[in-house]
Amino acid sequence: MTDSSIALTDARTLFISDLHMGTPDCQAALLDSLLRRVRPRRLYLVGDIIDLIAMRKRAVLPTAQQRLVARVLRLARGGCEVIYIPGNHDAALRKLCGLKLYNVRIERRMIHVTADNRRLLVSHGDEFDTHVRMAPWLMALGDGMHQFVLSLNRWCNHGRRLLGMPYWSLAAALKNQVGAARRYVEQFEQAALHQAAREGLDGYIGGHIHKAGFATGPGVLYCNDGDWVEHCTALMEDGEGRLSLIDWQGRVIGKEPAVEPRPMAEPSLARA
């Protein structure tokens, strides 16, 4: 269920990940359009912003991607706190964690405190890959098919633009029909929820799996901001600390669910 009533000007924090800049799949123009309307006080770049792995074979940096970089740097110069958390595709930048370049902080992970004082772990999410059980051959097959579907996605949306139609993700629609993909997402969510609970936090925010959404565990909230090669979504916190998923047009496509309280520990009985 969607709801477009949220005020984009009330964005306290914006979380985006998985742009994969340097590749033809990066939907830089759509994100640039969103950032013209949303002016967050803090912007988290939650990994795989630059696809250094893909750029070893072929680097693609069209005008739209260059314009997006310029816009983010203008936000940083203009007072927006920009925090870059490298992922697995830009892992080489993890060597720079702890530094500040062009007003952009580079960190391995962060604890984000919301306006309503919840403490949320923010990381890219690739650290949970070892917790997801899937046969190596299936992972390799899935990666190859994913690249093929992304190629189809580009051609599909090229045709839609010629017809004056808005962006639509063929890749996301096909992925939703694959049972193995759904199981992968569920295992990833559970690993992230467990990590947040283990650290005594109120929740987790990440990316990595290209699947925006919310999930809950006892006393813990899971948020995934999605990606900008397929779904084109971001996670937004408003001035009161409420979290919502928005699409590239700024429409709300999901709101954080209620979280059930953690179970109370049973008091130990004193021995007679």
Q: E strands of 77-211, at which residues?
A: 81-84, 100-101, 104-106, 110-113, 119-122, 203-206
Per residue in 64-115, pLDDT tens?
A: 999 999 999 999 999 999 999 999 999 999 999 999 999 999 999 999 999 9
pLDDT band at 269 (very low <50, low <70, confident <90, very high): low
Check residue 152 and report its DSSP letter: H
- Helices 179-198 + 136-162 axis angle, to 10: 110
Q: E strands of the chain, at which residues?
A: 11-16, 42-45, 81-84, 100-101, 104-106, 110-113, 119-122, 203-206, 213-217, 220-224, 233-238, 243-247, 252-255
Residue 16 has a CB neighbour count (10 Å cut-off) of 26
pTM (two decimals) = 0.83
pLDDT of 2: 47
If one compares 139 and 180, the residue with the highest pLDDT of the two is 180
Does residue 143 have a pLDDT over 90? no
Over range 164-191, report the average pLDDT.
Answer: 72
**Average pLDDT over all residues of the chain:** 86
pLDDT of 158: 64
Q: What's the CA gap between 168 and 154, in Å, rounded?
A: 10
pLDDT band at 8 (very low <50, low <70, confident <90, very high): confident
Tell me what percent of the residues of the chain surpass a pLDDT of 90.
68
Does residue 3 have a pLDDT over 90? no
